[in-house]
Amino acid sequence: MERTRTEKTIINLTYAMLCQFIIFILEFYMRKEFSSVLGEVYLGLDSTFDSVLMMISASNLGIVSAIAYSLYKPLAEADEKRLKAAFKFLRNSCWFMGIFFGVCGIIFSYRLNLILNNADTILNIKIIYLFYLANVILPYFFAHRRWLILNDQRRYIEILNSFISTVLGLLAKLIFLGIYKSFLIFSICILSTTLIEGVITFVVSNRLYPFLKYKITEKLTKSEKKIILKNVKGATLNQAFGLVIHTTDSIYISKIAGIIVAGIYAPYKFIINALKTINWQFCESIAASFGNLAAEGDIKKLEKRFYDVLFIGNCFFSAVVCNLIVNFSPLINIWMPKNHIFDNKVVAIILFNFYLMGIHKIVKTIRDNMGIYWPARYITICEAIINLAVSYFGVKFYGIAGILGGTTISILATCFWWEPYLLYKHGFKTKLTVYFKKQFLYYALTFVCCYICVNLCKKLVTQVVWARIFYNTLIVLIVQGFIFFVAFKNSEEYLFFKELICSKLGKRSC
């Protein structure tokens, strides 16, 4: 029997959360071993390369997702001819971008001093960089197959694929890191995850979609190409500058503050990125459902589902922020020496940025899956300019807090209000007063939860790190859960999820 959109979304989300939790534990252990074996310099180098290469990675430019949007309608209508034409256009675009960005990355290898001080003094630096480059370029050549699976609401397949390849890759890193204690060998192992994932995607997609085994001759019409290319232009401007925003912090830290400080920032960045990945998995799990609804033109239902998603997203971010505000330092102490942690001011900025970016990601996901690309083309241009300027001057007066504060100011000045404005104007076609009332209430309640939890956790006297983390987490769950329950127990969003959970448990009421 064909599953409903909600059932598909729940399956996708369940697989995503379980797999991501296991990967996080393995990644945490691997990073701890990495730090103890290779030290802070290579930890900072790994963090910096990840940030820089994100800027030339097609999977992050948004161009592919804008083109892949054209798959929704033929998939919803079971129109194989149009699906083949859209898929062929997507495939050719991915291959072209893979070659183009690969060449750009190779050229950049001769200018590594732009992002690293004394890059020439690091052994095999250029070879290591090229392995990192290959790891972000290879996905271009199977991205079209991956997006076909995702847009067909079969994300659980892609999640299992990513889980298997990531776990095997992490095991390879741990084994060879322990044997050779070499960053060069470690960088070679990074490729194993991508190669395994590519092979699995190729085999699975051929089984699910038999037409992939044969030559595709169908082509998009000129009008269809025109619409896609317009979306691509908007997405390119938007996402390319968005990458500047997301990589500015790490690059400024390594270049201006130094690679040692970048190494200290690395564990904070790792934990935040792991949590961002959970949010990304959540957004990707709901994306196809929203894209399918948009293709059918059911705007009222889309708006209602958006508020449901916003509710569950804020519950997650509130719980995480309240937890980390009291547990970040103990967690980092497990990983790094006590003198390698940031003060409370820096931690607060990191968490506030995480919350703002998380909500932005949810709003942006809905906007993208309603095909609203072109009107959003200037958002991240403005955000990137503000971020670069404020962070550059901020680091001179406030150090790392100035760099991270630049990100905060740029978000508040642009996408904080601009993204929802475009979603409501071009998507829901209603006023966004309701959105801001709901969102400011979520922020206010989170602030109250953090204030109460910080003061309660201060009274704990145990010096055992794991015990402190456990008791802090318990306090946060009780406080945050109680406050949100009292505030939203009669809301439509809470009642929707309560009914949904009850139905899945086989109960009429709970």
Q: Mind giving me the DSSP string for 57-122?
A: -HHHHSHHHHHHGGGHHHHHHT-HHHHHHHHHHHHHHHHHHHHHHHHHHHHHGGGGGGTSTTGGGS
Q: What's the pLDDT at 353?
A: 94
439 found inside a domain: yes
Q: Is residue 452 part of a domain?
A: yes
What span, in angstroms and rounded, lies between the C-alpha atoms of 273 and 262? Answer: 15
Q: Indicate the helix (H) or strand (E) that contains 452.
A: helix 433-457
- Nearest one of 181, 154, 412 to 289, comparing CA atoms: 154
Alpha-carbon gap, residue 139 to 134, rounded angstroms: 9
In the structure encoding, which two tokens stand for residue 137, read together? Answer: 């370029």
| 451 in any annotated domain | yes
The answer to the question of residue 384 being in a domain is no
Q: Is residue 165 one of the residues assigned to a domain?
A: no
Q: Report the alpha-carbon distance of residue 135 to residue 187 in Å, rounded.
A: 9
Whether 497 maps to a domain, the answer reads yes
Whole-structure pTM value: 0.69
Residue 370 forms part of a structural domain: yes
Residue 1's pLDDT is: 43
**Domain encompassing residue 311:** 297-377+414-505
Question: What pLDDT tens digit does each residue of the chain (510 aa) get?
Answer: 445 556 666 666 676 677 777 877 887 777 777 777 777 667 667 767 776 666 555 445 556 766 777 777 787 777 788 888 888 888 888 888 888 888 888 888 887 777 666 666 677 788 888 888 888 888 889 888 888 887 777 877 877 888 888 888 888 888 888 888 888 888 888 787 888 888 898 998 888 888 888 888 888 888 878 777 776 666 665 665 555 566 666 666 666 666 666 667 778 888 888 888 788 777 777 766 776 777 677 788 888 889 998 998 999 999 999 999 999 988 887 766 666 678 888 899 999 999 999 999 899 888 887 878 778 778 877 888 888 888 888 877 888 888 889 889 999 999 899 999 999 998 888 888 999 999 999 999 999 999 999 999 988 777 788 888 899 999 999 999 999 999 999 998 888 888 877 766 665 555
Q: How many domains does the chain have?
A: 1
What is the token pair recorded at 26? Answer: 């393995």
The answer to whether the CB of 376 falls within 8 A of the CB of 424 is no
- Give the span between the Cα atoms of 335 and 414, in whole angstroms: 35
- Is residue 373 assigned to a domain? yes
